[in-house]
Amino acid sequence: MDVLKEFVIQLVKEKGKITFAEFMEIALYHPEYGYYQKENPFGMQGSFYTSVDASESFGRTLAKGFEETIKELNLAPILCEMGAGSGMLANDILNYYKAESNKFYSEVKYIIIEKSKYLIDRQKELLKEHIDKVEWISFDGLNDFEGVFFSNELVDAFPVHRIININGDLKELYVIYHDEKLQFYPDEFSTVNLKEYIGKLGVKLVDKQIADINLDAVKWIKDVGEKINKGIVVTIDYGFDAKNLYAPFRMDGTVTCYFKHTQNNDFFERIGYQDITAFVDFSALMEYGKESGLNVVNFEPQWVFLLQSGILDEIRNAKTDLHRTRIKSLIIPEGGFGTNFNVLIQSKGVYIPDTFLYNKKPYDIFEQLSEMYAE
């Protein structure tokens, strides 16, 4: 039996039951055997494939948008990426500045918040050309931040609690060990925070419907707001607002696993060897973010965000049809990365004019999209 699976079984036997959030925390972040601590989960060799892996144009486009944001809003030239993964996005952004915007490159400071030592070492190796521009800090070490704080596919990897409606009563789904296997068992909520969340977000489930509640995301967005003095927060991830996320047709929740680019729901198999994720509740980030001073600037599909940021320039300048196709996969609304990916933009301590880059009107966006299909 795998070491981590045996660890989970022994823990469950000792405690009687654990929350799914506890299980997910162990599977992904166990110091020695967790998925993100010992594997190379990114790109073609890993379990999942991100927008960053699809094309360097994703990072180049973010670089353009962030530079324009900093200049338009008169922010400090500081970028802070939380959960930088392989470091590819940071590298693509800094490569763009060095090649295309040398003056800004000389001014910019890039902060990375990462808790995995394995990933930090990997990032430092990849970013050695820009090492004097990058600083690694802990989340606790970020205070009075000014600039652009952003994350890409971070929040979906936070552990979630699973709840279920059973004949009108909401229960939490715990992990137990029964009949020689790990399985779910419904019981009372493990924390009153679940009840508060459900009330605040207006979560209503039909009978036998399961929902995934990300309490870590609540704490995270509150902390982010507290740590920012003047700036913009950009959260890129797959997920929806609460109305869509908890719709009756999502009977089984959104937790899923990825193993070598294959999706499955075998939560209790390959523990530590496969990724476990859940769709992000962007309504929660908006509502709880307000408690620490974060104002909603916009909530929009990723393809709209990338068009606003200038990705059409990347399509026009693509050297091959293959490169052009990869870039288009980032913004095609039907399929690709344009389907479930959304972007939340929040601000604190800064005036947002109507002319702001990410306040463009829908007709401007569709005009740009028409241009893309014509090319």
309-368: pLDDT as tens digits: 988 877 777 666 676 677 667 667 555 555 689 999 999 999 999 999 998 765 566 666
CATH number of 38-158+214-374: 3.40.50.12710
CA angle 204, 205, 210 (to 5 degrees): 135
Given this model, what pLDDT does residue 116 score?
A: 85
Count, residues in the chain? 375
Model confidence at 37, pLDDT cuts 50, 70, 90, reads: confident
Tokens of 204: 């209503």
pLDDT, position 371: 61
Instruction: Express each pLDDT in 182-201 by its tens digit.
Output: 999 999 999 999 999 999 99
**pTM beyond 0.85:** yes
pLDDT at 372 over 70: no
Calculate mean pLDDT across residues 273-278: 94
- Rounded CA gap, 256 and 276, in Å? 6
The distance from CA 344 to its chain's CA centroid, rounded to whole angstroms, is 10
Per-residue model confidence (pLDDT) at position 117:
86
d(CA 293, CA 145): 14
CB neighbours of 91 closer than 8 A, spacing ≥ 6?
59, 126, 127, 130
Average pLDDT of the chain, as a whole number:
90
